[in-house]
């Protein structure tokens, strides 16, 4: 266990090396946050007939959704993580297999360390920018909700990691990752609730979204923060998604491992 904590700690520390990139990223997240928030505010403003409420969300709550999802973006790291796939392509993965560590836990602990750093240097600052620019935003005062949110974010990172791990496993079978990357991006962007809150979906489409694990990555933490879902149901669902995806990930890993050994001869 101590090894995994150390791995997480190192990966955490690594993220602080890129100061310029951090500031640049914060700027970009903020501009996007302002744009998305403006679109939602305009939608509420130009449709007085909805009485300021869509699926139980007032504009002030939708603002919280916009800024929390922008802040979570780097933390759950949805796009562009192909480290394992690249190491499959270069063959460096064989060295990782030789380490006396559990391969899955090795990468998970590194990813959790990275996520903790990104929460501090990207997540919190982005949310503060949003809270300063949009004062009408709902910011819950109950400590309990924030605690539930925190636990839920850790689980969201874990679910996102498991999904990214599965995508990376494709590297054992295909040479070019871009096809897999695009498909993965479409699924996650839409069904995690990153583009529009899942609560805004028409009934049948929300049913589809509920059958997929992506809700656990963006929506559930936000729902817990806004107090729109019981803490138990949210956390249980996330744990289930993480467990199920991890089983799939490990099965793929085992199949891939065998393939590499055969190639190695």
50 binds other proteins (CB under 8 A): yes
Report yes or no: 115 and 81 within 8 Å, Cβ to Cβ.
no
Taking the complex as a whole, how short is the minimal distance between the CB of residue 243 and other proteins, in angstroms?
Answer: 27
Q: Cα–Cα distance between 109 and 6 in angstroms, integer?
A: 9
* Count of residues of this chain found to bind other proteins when the rule CB under 8 A is applied: 41
- Of 5, 10, 14, 42, the one binding other proteins (CB under 8 A) is 42
| Torsion sign, CA atoms 127, 128, 134, 136 | positive
Residue linked to tokens 């490990």: 250
Which listed range, 48-56, 121-129, 154-162, 234-242, lies at the site for other proteins (CB under 8 A)?
48-56
23 binds other proteins (CB under 8 A): yes
Taking the complex as a whole, how short is the minimal distance between the CB of residue 19 and other proteins, in angstroms?
Answer: 8
| Angle (deg, nearest 10), helices 143-169 and 178-191 | 160
Taking the complex as a whole, how short is the minimal distance between the CB of residue 59 and other proteins, in angstroms?
Answer: 12
18 binds other proteins (CB under 8 A): yes
- Of 151, 185, 228, 248, the one binding other proteins (CB under 8 A) is 185
27 binds other proteins (CB under 8 A): yes
Q: Cα–Cα distance between 155 and 150 in angstroms, integer?
A: 9
Q: Cα–Cα distance between 10 and 265 in angstroms, integer?
A: 34
Q: Cα–Cα distance between 217 and 51 in angstroms, integer?
A: 30
- Of 52, 91, 144, 179, the one binding other proteins (CB under 8 A) is 179
Nearer Cβ to other proteins (20/100): 20
Nearer Cβ to other proteins (25/123): 25
86 binds other proteins (CB under 8 A): no
Q: Cα–Cα distance between 166 and 151 in angstroms, integer?
A: 23
Q: 3-state DSSP: the chain helix, strand, coil percent, rounded to 5?
A: 80, 0, 20
C-alpha 75: how far from its chain's center? 6
Taking the complex as a whole, how short is the minimal distance between the CB of residue 20 and other proteins, in angstroms?
Answer: 4
- Of 2, 80, 100, 178, the one binding other proteins (CB under 8 A) is 178
Which listed range, 41-49, 148-156, 229-237, 251-259, lies at the site for other proteins (CB under 8 A)?
41-49
110: tokens are 């590194």
């Amino acid at each position: 266990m101590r090894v995994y904590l150390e791995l997480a700690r190192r990966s955490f520390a690594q993220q602080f090396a890129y100061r310029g990139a951090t500031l640049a990223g914060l700027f970009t997240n903020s501009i996007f946050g302002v744009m998305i928030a403006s679109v939602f505010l305009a939608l509420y403003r130009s449709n007085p007939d909805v009485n300021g409420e869509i699926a139980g969300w007032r504009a002030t709550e939708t603002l919280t959704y916009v800024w929390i999802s922008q802040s979570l973006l780097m933390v759950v790291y949805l796009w562009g993580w192909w480290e394992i796939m690249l190491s499959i392509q270069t063959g460096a993965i064989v060295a990782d297999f030789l380490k006396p560590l559990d391969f899955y836990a090795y990468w998970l602990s590194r990813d959790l360390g990275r996520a903790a750093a990104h929460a501090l240097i990207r997540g919190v600052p982005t949310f503060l920018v949003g809270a300063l620019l949009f004062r009408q935003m709902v910011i819950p005062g109950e400590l309990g909700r924030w605690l539930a949110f925190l636990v839920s974010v850790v689980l969201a990172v874990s679910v996102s990691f498991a999904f990214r791990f599965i995508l990376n496993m494709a590297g054992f079978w295909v040479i070019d990752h871009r096809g897999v990357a695009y498909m993965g991006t479409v699924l996650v962007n839409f069904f995690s609730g990153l583009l529009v809150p899942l609560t805004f979906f028409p009934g049948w489409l929300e049913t589809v979204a509920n059958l997929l694990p992506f809700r656990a990555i963006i929506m559930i933490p936000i729902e817990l923060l806004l107090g729109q879902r019981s803490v138990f149901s949210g956390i249980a669902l996330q744990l289930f998604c993480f467990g199920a995806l991890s089983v799939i990930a490990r099965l793929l890993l085992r199949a891939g491992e065998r393939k590499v050994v055969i190639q190695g001869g």
